[in-house]
Amino acid sequence: MARLVGGILIIFLFISTIVSFTNHLSTLTLLYFYSYVKLAITIIKYVPQAWMNYKRKSTEGWSIGNILLDFTGGILSVLQMFLLAINYDDWSSIFGSPTKFGLGFFSILFDILFIVQHYILYRSKTSTVIRTDEDDDDDDNERTPIFSARS
């Protein structure tokens, strides 16, 4: 399914680029098309991970660090748009760039979903390892280096 959607988007951009080179489409409009495709891909890319987390009821083996960074970037991007709108008293600038607003907005939404999945819904249950073998001199001890200094 992802290859089909990706193929359709690539064909759309390829045809749009050719039409732009023939001067039937402005370069600005072409760049808007590219930005809309980027927004669509960004929205689509989050769905499989959210679905997999839901089906497995776990976020095990998956790093939350990148999500926290993405969340920070989304917040700062939307905050920048609002601060510029306040500074220039131009509130149309917030929705004047639908791609930038959409990227920030959808990133924040999915990142909140992932944070809730990781820290609340599917919180990993930490297991305690109890050592039953008291022999610390055993060569099979996991603290023994693989390459020992012995000759």
User: Using a CB cutoff of 8 Å and minimum separation of 24, what contacts does 87-92 make?
Assistant: none
Question: Does pLDDT of 130 surpass 90?
Answer: no
Reply yes or no on whether the pLDDT at 113 is more than 80.
yes
Q: What is the pLDDT of residue 94?
A: 83
- The tens digit of pLDDT for each residue in 2-52 reads 789 989 999 999 999 999 999 999 999 999 999 999 999 988 889 999 999
Between residues 70 and 92, the one the model is more confident about: 70
Q: Predicted confidence band at 128 (pLDDT cuts at 50, 70, 90)?
A: very low
Torsion, CA 45, CA 12, CA 73, CA 70, rounded to 10: 10
Segments making up each domain of the chain, as ranges: 2-121
The answer to whether the beta carbons of residues 124 and 60 sit under 8 Å apart is: yes
d(CA 19, CA 137) in angstroms, rounded, equals 75
Confidence of residue 129 (pLDDT cuts 50, 70, 90): very low
Give the rounded percent of residues in the chain with a pLDDT score beyond 70: 82
pLDDT of residue 50: 93
Q: Give the residue-averaged pLDDT of 55-60.
A: 91
Q: Any residues with CB less than 8 A from the CB of 78 and at least 6 apart, and which? A: 101, 104, 105, 108
On whether the CB atoms of residues 33 and 12 are closer than 8 A, the answer is: yes
* 112 neighbors 85 (Cβ within 8 angstroms): no
Residue 105: CB atoms within 10 A of its CB come to 15
Q: Looking at residue 95, what is its pLDDT?
A: 80
Helix or strand run (H / E) with residue 93: helix 92-96
CA atoms within 13 A on the CB side of 30: 15
Across 13-22, 92-101, 112-121, least confident range: 92-101
